[in-house]
């Protein structure tokens, strides 16, 4: 039978924090969560976090900016998706919003959305593919899930299919049926 892992004292927590941050960049909230699971005394966690910040190993603003730029450049994701992911990574809302705003301020959202769809429909002719209403609706859902705004998604899809305008009215009627609640 395996015995449970030993809990760590302050020095053990600091060493664990350094190893963890050396392997992967984390937000303060993520590191705090991991340290709490390992801590012998929960009171030690904040002291270790303060040490990591003081030594420059932990910086949520820098983490969020790097994360947002990487998601924009490497995955071509929209702002809403990146903001959602930063919140899941336990970055404070204000820090996350500022980082996303900075990362996307020079970005053409419609062009980013078009590049995203081109990758998703890589081996297909997008113009003929989007003539089918099912494919058009699917492309719209993909864009929304990827974090692109409704208006930008429809504006981009209208280049390929006249029916794209109907996608917004379908979303609005679904919102009304659900009691007008918006995400």
Q: Are residues 68 and 50 in the same domain?
A: no
Of 13, 22, 89, 96, whose CA–CA distance to 51 is shortest? 13
The number of folded domains in the chain is 3
Cα–Cα distance, 50 to 41 (Å, whole number)? 16
Q: Are residues 138 and 151 in the same domain?
A: yes
In a domain, 183, yes or no: no
pTM over 0.75: yes
Partnered with residue 39 across adjacent β-strands are 8
Range of the domain at 42: 10-54
Q: Three-state DSSP class for 66? A: helix
For the chain, list residues with pLDDT below 70.
3, 168-183
pLDDT value at residue 168: 61
pLDDT value at residue 40: 93
In a domain, 173, yes or no: yes
pLDDT value at residue 93: 95
In a domain, 155, yes or no: yes
Given a contact cutoff of 8 angstroms between Cβ atoms, the answer to whether 130 and 139 are in contact is: yes
């Amino acid at each position: 039978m395996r015995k449970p892992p030993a809990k760590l004292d302050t020095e053990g927590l600091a060493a664990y924090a350094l190893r963890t941050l050396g392997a992967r960049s984390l937000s303060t909230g993520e590191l705090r969560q991991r340290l709490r699971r390992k801590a012998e005394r929960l009171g030690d966690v904040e002291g270790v976090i303060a040490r990591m910040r003081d030594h420059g190993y932990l910086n949520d603003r820098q983490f969020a900016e790097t994360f947002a730029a990487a998601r924009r450049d490497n995955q071509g994701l929209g702002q809403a998706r990146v903001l959602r992911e930063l919140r899941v990574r336990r970055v404070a809302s204000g820090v996350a919003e500022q980082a996303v705003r900075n990362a996307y301020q020079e970005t053409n959202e419609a062009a980013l959305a078009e590049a995203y769809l081109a990758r998703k429909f890589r081996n297909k002719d997008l113009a003929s593919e989007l003539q089918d209403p099912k494919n058009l609706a699917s492309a719209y859902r993909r864009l929304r899930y990827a974090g692109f705004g409704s208006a930008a998604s429809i504006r981009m899809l209208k280049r390929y299919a006249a029916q794209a305008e109907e996608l917004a009215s379908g979303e609005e009627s679904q919102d009304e049926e659900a009691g007008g609640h918006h995400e």
